[in-house]
């Protein structure tokens, strides 16, 4: 049973460019879990999966795992990956998806060929996997399906919901559907590909899904510390969305959205430079006053432009009349926010009543090699350096990050998010 729920807020003077959202939740419980992480960059999907799964099996021993997460990049025949997992670990409950890259201990792999498998066994914590299809076409209904399934689980304990939806989903509607039936922190990453914004896949109990959402409920005796940080700065003036439908922005300040975005980019956005445009520039939305936030904006990536309609798409609904601010990142800002994240974690660990058992890191693909090149691993190591070198570490470069701020679930872009389980 849970006892002694305490909410702790940490304040820290920060350098320019680095914006941090932090929430510490301390519970008088000890996380009882055995966790193993296996990684592979072999080119053959079956061999990559069997290599990573064997590492998990060897570390967990004969008792094996109760649940596994599977993350992979897009270059594989993914059925081969799932076959390899089953060959070594059996038909275990599973959740996961494809992502732009994999983050592990001393690993920042954004190649087409990377697999990560996480096996977890615990007597006091249970995992329940859910998979719902057509989250792209019917995100609200998909969210309701997940929310009802989660609400039907009656196990006592603290709760966290991992979400891995297709990048084409309307995330605000997905959240709304889930939260109609259950309230708890959401963490996770948006499934994607190699920044082509064409195709991604989700995994649920050994099945390969498309246009879906893989969700995993974690319930039991554990505590979780979450943190969100970004290194973006406002560019240009504040603007107003004057024509929109759902998550499509047609006009900003009564002008075509593409023209305004090109103006803020400093060059016409065309097919040849769209990857640079979407990784360098995002849109900040006012989130109101957040006690734990040093920035008044929650960031959203631009997931694509329609050159004929001169519109742009973001992952959440945008109402007409919404005030926005274009935001831009650079190499120094990304690394500065990574260093700040490490310092914030170092200070907050003193307030955690139990040792960390697992770190989940979901970073934006826009903070990866396309932004800072060979310094990607350096940024990851800045954060990892404040923890024990043997602490299990799972994570991805995602097309969007999911993490709470001030007790409210948010979808983020261009951020590094951490969830520390203890």
Give how far Cα 178 sits from Cα of 172, 210, 247, Å. Answer: 10, 20, 19
Q: Is the pLDDT score of 34 beyond 50?
A: yes
pLDDT computed for residue 83 by the predictor: 98
Q: What's the pLDDT score for residue 326?
A: 92
Token look-up 């406002």 returns 234
Look up residue 237 and give its DSSP letter: -
Taking the domain 234-329, which CATH number applies?
2.60.40
Q: Residue 414 pLDDT > 90, yes or no?
A: no
The percentage of the chain sitting over the pLDDT mark of 70, rounded to a whole number, equals 85
pLDDT for 195 equals 85
How high is the mean pLDDT of the chain?
86
Residue 19 pLDDT grade (very low, low, confident, very high; cuts 50, 70, 90): very low
How much is the pLDDT for 402? Answer: 96
Whether 3 has a pLDDT exceeding 50, the answer reads: no
**Percent share of the chain, pLDDT over 90:** 60
Mean pLDDT of 242-261: 96
| 85 touches 94 (CB < 8 A) | yes
Q: Is 402 left (phi over 0), alpha (psi -120 to 50) or beta?
A: beta
With H, G, I as helix, E, B as strand and everything else as coil, classify residue 134.
coil
Domain ranges of the chain: 6-229+333-421, 234-329
State both tokens at 155.
């196990």
For residue 349, what pLDDT is reported?
A: 66
340-356 residue pLDDT tens = 766 776 677 666 656 78
pLDDT reading at 50 higher than 70: yes
Interatomic CA distance for residues 184 and 160, integer angstroms: 6
Highest mean pLDDT of the ranges 78-87, 271-280, 382-391: 78-87
pLDDT at 88: 97
Residues 194-198 have a mean pLDDT of: 87
Helix (H, G, I), strand (E, B) or coil at 378: helix
**Is 58 a residue whose pLDDT tops 80?**
yes
State the pLDDT at residue 22: 35
Continuous segment of H or E residues that includes residue 167: none
Angle at 298 between CA 402 and CA 134, to 5 degrees: 40
**CB-based contacts of 384: which residues, under 8 Å, 6+ apart?**
105, 106, 359, 393
Please determine, for residue 323, whether its predicted confidence score (pLDDT) is greater than 90.
yes
What is the tens place of the pLDDT at every residue in 207-237? Answer: 999 999 999 999 999 999 888 877 677 888 9
* 7 band by pLDDT with thresholds 50, 70 and 90: very low
Rounded-to-integer distance, Cα 85 and Cα 88, Å: 6
For the record, the structure tokens of 187 come out as: 């963490």
Sign, CA torsion 77/79/80/84: positive
Backbone region of residue 156 per phi and psi (left: phi > 0; alpha: psi in -120 to 50; beta: other values):
beta
Tell me the C-alpha to C-alpha distance, in Å, between residue 145 and each of 34, 87, 135, 149, 344: 31, 31, 10, 6, 37
- Decide: residue 228, CB within 10 A, 0-12 exposed, 13-18 middle, 19+ buried: buried
DSSP-derived 3-state class of residue 332: helix
- Quote the tokens at residue 338: 């990574």
| Rounded mean pLDDT, 361-384 | 82
Helix, strand and coil percent figures for the chain, each rounded to 5: 25, 35, 35
pLDDT digits (tens, 9 = 90+) for 125-178: 999 999 999 999 999 999 999 999 999 999 999 999 999 999 999 999 999 999
pLDDT-based confidence at residue 367 (cuts at 50, 70, 90): confident
**Distance of alpha carbon 334 from alpha carbon 327, whole angstroms:** 13
The pLDDT score that the predictor gives to residue 328 is 81
Look at residues 377, 294, 293, 364 and name the one whose alpha carbon lies nearest to residue 329: 364
282's CB contacts (< 8 A; 6+ apart) are: 232, 299, 300, 301, 302, 326, 327, 328, 329, 366, 413, 414
pLDDT bucket at 9, cuts 50 / 70 / 90 = very low
Which of the pair, 304 or 391, is modelled with greater confidence? Answer: 391
| pLDDT tens, residue by residue, 267-302 | 999 888 877 777 778 898 876 554 444 466 788 888
Q: Which two tokens stand for residue 313?
A: 């798409």
């Amino acid at each position: 049973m849970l006892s002694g729920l305490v909410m702790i807020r940490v304040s820290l003077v920060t350098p320019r460019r680095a914006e941090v959202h932090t929430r510490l939740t301390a519970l008088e419980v000890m996380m009882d879990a055995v966790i193993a992480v296996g990684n592979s960059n072999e080119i053959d999907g079956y061999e990559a999966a069997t290599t990573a799964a064997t590492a998990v099996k060897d570390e967990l021993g004969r008792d094996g795992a109760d649940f596994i997460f599977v993350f992979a990049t897009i270059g594989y025949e993914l059925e081969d990956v799932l076959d390899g997992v089953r060959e070594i670990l059996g038909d275990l409950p599973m959740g996961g998806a494809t992502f732009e890259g994999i983050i592990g201990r001393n690993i920042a792999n954004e190649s087409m060929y990377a697999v990560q498998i996480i096996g977890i066994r615990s007597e006091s914590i249970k995992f329940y996997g859910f998979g719902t299809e057509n989250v792209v076409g019917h995100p609200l209904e998909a969210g309701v399906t997940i929310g009802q399934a989660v609400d039907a689980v009656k196990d006592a304990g603290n709760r966290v919901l991992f979400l891995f939806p297709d990048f084409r989903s309307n995330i605000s509607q997905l959240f709304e559907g889930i939260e109609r039936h259950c309230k708890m922190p959401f963490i996770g990453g948006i499934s994607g590909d190699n920044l082509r914004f064409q195709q991604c896949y989700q995994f649920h109990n050994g099945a390969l899904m498309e246009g879906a959402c893989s969700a995993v409920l974690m319930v039991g005796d554990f505590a979780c510390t979450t943190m969100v940080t970004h290194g973006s700065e406002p560019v240009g003036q504040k603007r107003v969305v004057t024509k929109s439908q759902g998550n499509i922005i047609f006009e900003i300040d009564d002008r075509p959205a593409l023209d305004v975005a090109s103006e803020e980019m400093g060059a016409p956005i065309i097919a040849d430079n769209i990857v640079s445009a979407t990784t360098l520039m995002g849109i900040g939305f006012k989130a109101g006053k957040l006690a734990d936030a040093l920035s008044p904006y929650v960031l959203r990536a631009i997931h694509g432009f329609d050159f004929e309609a001169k519109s742009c798409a973001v992952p959440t609904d945008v109402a007409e009349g919404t005030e926005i601010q274009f935001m831009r990142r650079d190499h120094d800002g990304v690394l500065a926010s990574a260093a700040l994240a490490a310092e914030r974690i170092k200070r907050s660990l003193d307030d955690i009543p139990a040792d960390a058992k697992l770190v989940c890191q979901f970073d934006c693909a826009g903070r990866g090699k396309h932004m800072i090149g060979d310094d990607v691993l350096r940024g990851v190591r800045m954060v990892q350096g404040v923890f024990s070198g043997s602490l299990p570490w799972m994570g991805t470069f995602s097309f969007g990050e999911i993490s709470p701020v001030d007790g409210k679930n948010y979808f983020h872009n261009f951020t590094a998010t951490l969830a520390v389980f203890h």
